[in-house]
């Protein structure tokens, strides 16, 4: 059972956190933040090897401890191996941040191939399911187990400019979070974050500079967010500071969308 709030706040000393997609953006910033709070960190990556190496370098330069965990999480065998390898390295697993995901490419639903639809679900929800299923027994044993899932504002908007398959898969991840929070309580908490527009490589690939400026104008705080800001919420949900929070969805969009 998760212990009551003890006033230790964001201290993760003695705990182990696995971050998927930790080579870039929110995943990279979160892996570094979790390490600085005291956690041993599993730095998973698939295609962003150079970024993952940089993540681990920053962790180690600050006196932290981590390990690189390469692999395609859409493979059941690989997902199982990554969890097993991290637990073998760290000796335990207390925090799982399911961050890995990708819109892949844009397509209207009318013109979406079944192959693209399946790929969107493989990358954005099936991978999280496989990693989480393998991790559950370890998270239960922890006594402070926490699962954090990274959604997308497209869950609220329905996806724009052909992001419908991605939005649908992220919507499934939201329901997955709620199911986990019910099934795993009281020994493991499960929550989700829903970032708005974050100034990361993701938007360098999928969003024009003009659109990014438009997002800034639409946001009451007058800007888009940075990955380091999102990482602080991940750290909160990983720690005892959020000991009475489960099944929650935390909006991080600068007030641009209100539910």
> The CATH number of the domain where 161 resides is what?
3.40.50.720
pLDDT band at residue 1, thresholds of 50, 70 and 90? low
Model confidence pLDDT, tens digit, residues 48-101: 999 999 999 999 999 999 999 999 999 999 999 999 999 999 999 999 999 999
Per-residue pLDDT, 207 = 66
Catalytic, 166? Answer yes
Helix (H), strand (E) at residue 179: helix 164-184
Where in the sequence is the domain holding 86, given as residue range(s)? Answer: 16-252
Measuring CA to CA, which residue among 29, 25, 65 is closest to residue 234?
A: 29
Residue 113 lies in a domain: yes
Whole-model pTM?
0.93
Q: Total structural domains in the chain?
A: 1
The active-site residue out of 45, 166, 215, 236 is: 166
Task: Confirm if 100 and 169 have CB atoms less than 8 A apart.
Answer: no
Task: Confirm if 96 and 18 have CB atoms less than 8 A apart.
Answer: yes
Residue 4 lies in a domain: no
Residue 257 lies in a domain: no
Model confidence pLDDT, tens digit, residues 223-252: 888 999 999 999 999 999 999 999 999 999
Per-residue pLDDT, 219 = 87
DSSP per residue over 34-92, as a string? HHHTT-EEEEEESS-HHHHHHHHHHHHHTT--EEEEE--TTSHHHHHHHHHHHHHHHS-
Residue 166 lies in a domain: yes
Model confidence pLDDT, tens digit, residues 138-195: 999 999 999 999 998 888 888 878 899 999 999 999 999 999 999 999 999 999 999 9
Residue 180 lies in a domain: yes
Asked if the model's pLDDT at residue 256 lies above 70, the reply is: yes
Residue 150 lies in a domain: yes
Asked if the model's pLDDT at residue 2 lies above 70, the reply is: no
């Amino acid at each position: 059972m998760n212990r009551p709030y003890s006033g230790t706040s964001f201290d993760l000393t003695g705990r182990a956190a696995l971050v998927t997609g930790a080579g870039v953006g929110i995943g990279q910033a979160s892996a570094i933040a979790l390490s600085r709070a005291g956690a041993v960190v599993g730095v998973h990556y698939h295609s962003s090897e150079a970024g993952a190496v940089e993540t681990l370098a920053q962790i180690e330069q600050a006196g932290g401890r981590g390990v690189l965990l390469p692999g395609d999480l859409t493979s059941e065998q690989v997902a199982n191996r990554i969890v097993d390898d991290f637990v073998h390295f760290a000796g335990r697993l207390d925090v799982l941040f399911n961050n890995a995901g990708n819109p892949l490419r844009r397509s209207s639903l009318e013109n979406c191939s079944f192959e693209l639809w399946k790929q969107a679900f493989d990358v954005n929800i099936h991978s999280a399911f496989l990693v989480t299923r393998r991790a559950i027994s370890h998270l239960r044993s922890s006594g402070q187990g926490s699962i954090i899932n990274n959604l997308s504002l497209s869950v609220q908007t329905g996806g724009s400019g052909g992001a419908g398959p991605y939005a649908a898969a992220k919507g499934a991840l939201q329901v997955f979070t709620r199911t986990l929070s019910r099934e795993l309580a009281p020994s493991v908490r499960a929550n989700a974050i829903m970032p708005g527009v974050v100034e990361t490589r993701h938007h360098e690939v999928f969003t024009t500079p003009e659109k990014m400026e438009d997002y800034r104008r639409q946001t009451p705080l007058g800007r888009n967010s940075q990955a380091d800001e999102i990482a602080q919420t991940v750290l909160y949900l990983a720690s005892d500071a959020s000991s009475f929070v489960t099944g929650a969805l935390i909006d991080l969009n600068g007030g641009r969308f209100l539910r």
